[in-house]
Amino acid sequence: KKAASDTLSTMEDWVSVIDILSDETKIMALAEINKNINDLYEHLDYFEEAVQVRVKEFKTKTLIDLELGTWSKKEVVDTYHVPLFDDNAFRVIVQLSDDLTQYTAYLAGKHFGNSTLVQMDQYGNYRVVYGPELGSIPDGKKVKFEILGHGNDVEKTMGKRTAADMAKNILDLKEHIPKTVDVTAVSLKGCCAGADYGKNVLIELNKKNFKPVVSSKLGLVQVYKLGRTFTSSTYHSEDSRTAWKYDENGKIVAVPYSDEKHHIVISVDEGGNPKVIKTHNNKDWRKFKGELRVKVVDGELSNTLNALIDFQAQLKTQGAKMSQIDVETGGEGWFEGQPNNTLRSYGGQARSMTQFIGSNITLHINSGLHSGATVFSYKNIAFREIIIHSPEYIVNYSDAWKSGFISFEYDGDNIPFLYVPIAYDPIITLNIVISTKDYTKEMVLSQLQQAKKELGNAFVIKIRVTTNPQYLMPEQESKDLINYLSQELDVRIERVHIDIPNSESRLLLSKNPRDPEIKIHEHLAETTPHQDTPLHNWADLSQEQINKLTTEAQKPQPSLANHDHQVLIQTEADGNVRDSTFRLASKHPAQTTIVQMQKDGTHQVVYGLDLEDI
């Protein structure tokens, strides 16, 4: 008993100094603290009550805060909500590392109101950040775990967990779920951790007599804000995942994608009438109530919309409504042979269906020029947003984007994400943002060509290559890229740089078709390596800069969007950093304080209100 108390005291001492340890020592300390506290927790009955209370407090609060207390949280929203086909279905989303916070929030939002979001550290400690606590999941629910972590197909791990580690974490979480709740499936949504990872997790779970269906991914996983998961740029493909279960003979067998994801499956007959061909659990479709998920097979452009409008009207008379409609297009592309055979046309059709029917629409294009693409249209979305995912690129159509300007970021997998206005000018500027030195000229060209293809007959008047502080592209490298693109695309090429997010870009270089030389507008000054220059040797803002800020502050200016005042902190003596801070201050000079701060925290105010006077 004394040893237990001494161990507990030692662990408490370690916690008190954990923040000042080096990264390597901190990792070792966290592992040791978790090991010792978990050992004590497993043997609570041996200790006197006072020690038990301390151990429980350490286990349920201190351990959780040590690691998970540093993790971020993101709001879970219902913008892209999709109804579950089974009224008893429930999702438990499990996040295995801090950098996945946004993506797990997307997953939880897909089934808003029917999910719990759990953050779990590598030691098995967890906290619920959205939805009911595990112990409060309603009786009779059927739970599916959706676990997101980084996969490693060399180490055969996900979230740094072997199959045995993963199984233990799943079983630990399951212990907190009421016995009246059935856990039926586990979906491992991380990038590929090896073809047999999911099967090996199932084998480990079976050792404790737990036999859910276990699925895992076989490629690079991307989770978008829709809450939809794509694997190696494909959506719902048998080739991109594995799924396993034990059959009635105790053998592990593969499980195909279930078609049981809809309340009702319909087709449209030659007369344009909806025909019910299947329902969930063979239920009479006339007895369904509430929000429904409906699938249309072999839908044709000419009759699908009217058939769905009619079917929606029938459902409303019985207190039901199609909230999510998944349409599989028919044997030919809907716009095949037409001059407007673009993904944009499919997006416009999906938006029309959403407006007329009042439902979320997903179009699965199964044939023609755009086979393999998926179109998403949501009824409650702002700016009439439509998202299309094709094997070659992704498009976000929205009224939020500038009409004559189409932008996207260079993508290392050569699948650019294009931001395209719904109604755009016939004359377009294409803007590619390069934030990494690991680009290639060939892939930049490829992605620009893909963007041009999506624009159909629109005329591209110029192409801009934009960089930001993440990557300061050297001038000679910029010239080489401009010459290459100019030769291949025969259009004006501009090279611009953005010093600070949301600030105006600076034109550095340009070249028109058939110009013999590149025109230099401005040089991009490269910042010097960080120097620990004493604060008293830092250069203040020039008198000219201060006068300009003071003068501008007397004029009407746009206010800060969400705050009353901003404090800009310059952390290097470098003149370029100082000037960039000045440019940012120029947007809201009356609501800004500029502080210069060296590494040890010593600081001075060089413009605006003193900190204590804000």
pLDDT in tens, 454-509: 887 789 999 999 999 888 899 999 999 999 999 999 999 999 999 887 778 899 99
Flag whether 299 is in a domain. Answer: yes
Q: What is the DSSP letter of 526?
A: P
Q: Could you give phi then psi for residue 392, rounded to 5 degrees?
A: -100, -35
Residue type for 502, please? N
Flag whether 79 is in a domain. Answer: no
Q: If you write DSSP's letter for every residue of 189-217 in order, what string do you get?
A: -SSPS-TTHHHHHHHHHHTTT---EEEEE
pLDDT band at 525 (very low <50, low <70, confident <90, very high): low
pLDDT tens string 213-226: 999 999 989 898 89
- Of 360, 391, 422, the residue at which a domain comes to its end is 391
In this structure, the number of other CB atoms found within 10 A of the CB of residue 255 comes to: 16
pLDDT band at 227 (very low <50, low <70, confident <90, very high): very high
- Whether 151 shows a pLDDT value over 70: the answer reads yes
Mean pLDDT of 403-432: 89
Q: Dump strand ranges (E) for 79-235.
A: 89-95, 115-120, 126-130, 142-148, 151-152, 157-158, 182-188, 213-217, 221-223, 229-231
How many distinct structural domains can be found in the chain?
5
Q: How far apart are CA 189 and CA 510, in angstroms?
A: 44
- Of 66, 97, 116, the residue at which a domain comes to its end is 66
Q: Are 111 and 228 in the same domain?
A: yes
- Residue pointed to by tokens 């094709």: 390
Flag whether 73 is in a domain. Answer: no
Q: Are 377 and 411 in the same domain?
A: no
Q: Are 386 and 402 in the same domain?
A: no
Flag whether 72 is in a domain. Answer: no
Flag whether 11 is in a domain. Answer: yes
> Quick one: angle between helices 575-585 and 543-553, nearest 10?
10
Flag whether 529 is in a domain. Answer: no
- Of 232, 254, 276, the residue at which a domain comes to its end is 254
Structure tokens, 409: 């970021």
Percent with pLDDT over 90 in the chain: 56
Beta bridge partners, 326, equal: 295, 362
User: Which of 1-10, 304-313, 343-352, 406-415 has the least mean pLDDT?
Assistant: 1-10
- Whether 414 shows a pLDDT value over 90: the answer reads no
Q: What is the mean pLDDT of the chain?
A: 90
- Whether 559 shows a pLDDT value over 80: the answer reads no
pLDDT band at 527 (very low <50, low <70, confident <90, very high): very low
Q: Are 244 and 102 in the same domain?
A: yes
| pLDDT at site 296 | 95
Q: Are 299 and 313 in the same domain?
A: yes
Domain, as residue range, for 112: 89-254
Q: Are 211 and 336 in the same domain?
A: no
Q: Are 152 and 222 in the same domain?
A: yes
- Whether 560 shows a pLDDT value over 80: the answer reads no
pLDDT band at 252 (very low <50, low <70, confident <90, very high): very high
Q: How far apart are CA 562 and CA 474, in angstroms?
A: 36
Structure tokens, 455: 């624009």
Flag whether 525 is in a domain. Answer: no
Of all residues in the chain, what percent are helix, strand and coil, respectively (each to 5)? 35, 25, 40
Flag whether 80 is in a domain. Answer: no
Q: Is 292 exposed, middle or buried (0-12, 13-18, 19+ CB in 10 A)?
A: buried
Q: Are 49 and 115 in the same domain?
A: no
Q: Are 115 and 215 in the same domain?
A: yes
Q: Are 250 and 275 in the same domain?
A: no
Highest mean pLDDT of the ranges 39-53, 95-109, 422-436, 594-608: 95-109
- Whether 340 shows a pLDDT value over 80: the answer reads no
Q: Are 543 and 561 in the same domain?
A: yes
pLDDT tens string 258-274: 767 899 999 998 888 99
Mean pLDDT of 232-247: 86
Mean pLDDT of 519-535: 70
Q: What is the DSSP letter of 594?
A: E
Question: What is the β-pairing status of strands 157-158 and 182-188?
Answer: unpaired
Mean pLDDT of 160-189: 97
- Whether 336 shows a pLDDT value over 90: the answer reads no
Q: How far apart are CA 463 and CA 481, in angstroms?
A: 12
CATH number of the CATH domain containing 107: 3.40.50.11050
- Whether 530 shows a pLDDT value over 60: the answer reads no
Q: Are 542 and 506 in the same domain?
A: no
| pLDDT at site 474 | 92
pLDDT band at 344 (very low <50, low <70, confident <90, very high): confident
pTM: 0.75
Mean pLDDT of 437-443: 94
Percent with pLDDT over 70 in the chain: 98
